[in-house]
Structure 1
């Protein structure tokens, strides 16, 4: 029968103790705290049967990690307050591109602030209706610009496209252009 847990902290400890994937995620998130500056040149890959597999950018980093292996095993096990890792295997490999998501949290915040779009900066205090009106204005300006640059607007779906036809490639391919022309022919006949 399941144990009764008295608080959230206990629940988290039990979940971490049972989940290998959660341990891997925690290791990745706190990798810099565990290994220090070398975290920029290596990363934990996965844990299997008590063995932590690490990717490193080159042999010099493998050498360093191998020399410090016992130290890192002890740090990781004390970090989890249980014997999670009994050995470490280090291999050369390309580091994941998304590893910046869990490293350098302060740098990440700064980069995010730098990359904040003009739209976000201008709309901080706008309510939802003002935001919609602003987006509509931008869309109209974009459409006018593209039309002035030689783009055409599909008579059926309204998509902007480049070409000599009256219809976009999608409407031509799915037969909507033929249907449109046929219905307009019938309307023109009915008017005469």
Structure 2
């Protein structure tokens, strides 16, 4: 019995090791498709650096892009998981990296050798800060801020002065961002950096997309055999959402099926005397998983198509199981 336990422990250990190898492959694939996922503007100034236990580290070389990624990290994480059709990233850590740091140090050392130590190389953030300070507000903007501040009770005069300063600085920053390529969202009015021809911010876009996906997912879960036209008409969405949600739901079932098979294989290997009983119990659940997957993936009750898809599914399961090893 002790040998069987050791064998089971070994299989579990190998399964964990294969998961880490899988993250290495995921990171490689993420780097190859980073521009496709985030857009060329963000991709130029950032890179996925590390992926460990589903925590992704992103290095960013630009303060403006850093602010955008931090603000919308949940959206980027969602896009990554949608790209991989699975929950590969659960947390995002964004690190600001100054590419000029090393160059500045080298330049400084050269200056020390020549005796010229007066030259100072400013970082991008300091330049941005100076540019913001140089911006001037119009009289109309100043008057509007003053009108709002004057509404505060006179006994809070010190607070009002500070609030006015903050309001003016915020307005200067907004003007600076708008002059640097940022735009104002047509839905909520927030300022954001567009990845292309977007008119609405990531949050508003995500809210709209989430609503479409949620409506379609609910319908397909209840009626997996429904056709494209009927589904689009009932949910008020589009064909892209229909097929995208089908793939997402099918991928979730496949992930459950894959780990179900891995778990049952470990149980069978570790319990030789109960092997036949476990197999009998597994067959019923396995067939349910298979039917759910094909119903969501294809959406047909044609038995010929069902048989072909089942063969493809079994082949995919075997290939993925070998890859995990």
Structure with a larger share of its residues in strand = 1
Taking CA–CA contacts closer than 8 Å with sequence separation of 6 or more, which of the two structures ends up with the larger relative contact order?
2
Which has a greater percent of helix?
A: 2
TM-score norm. by structure 1 comes to 0.39
TM-score by length of 2: 0.24
Q: Which of these two proteins has the greater Rg computed from alpha carbons? A: 1
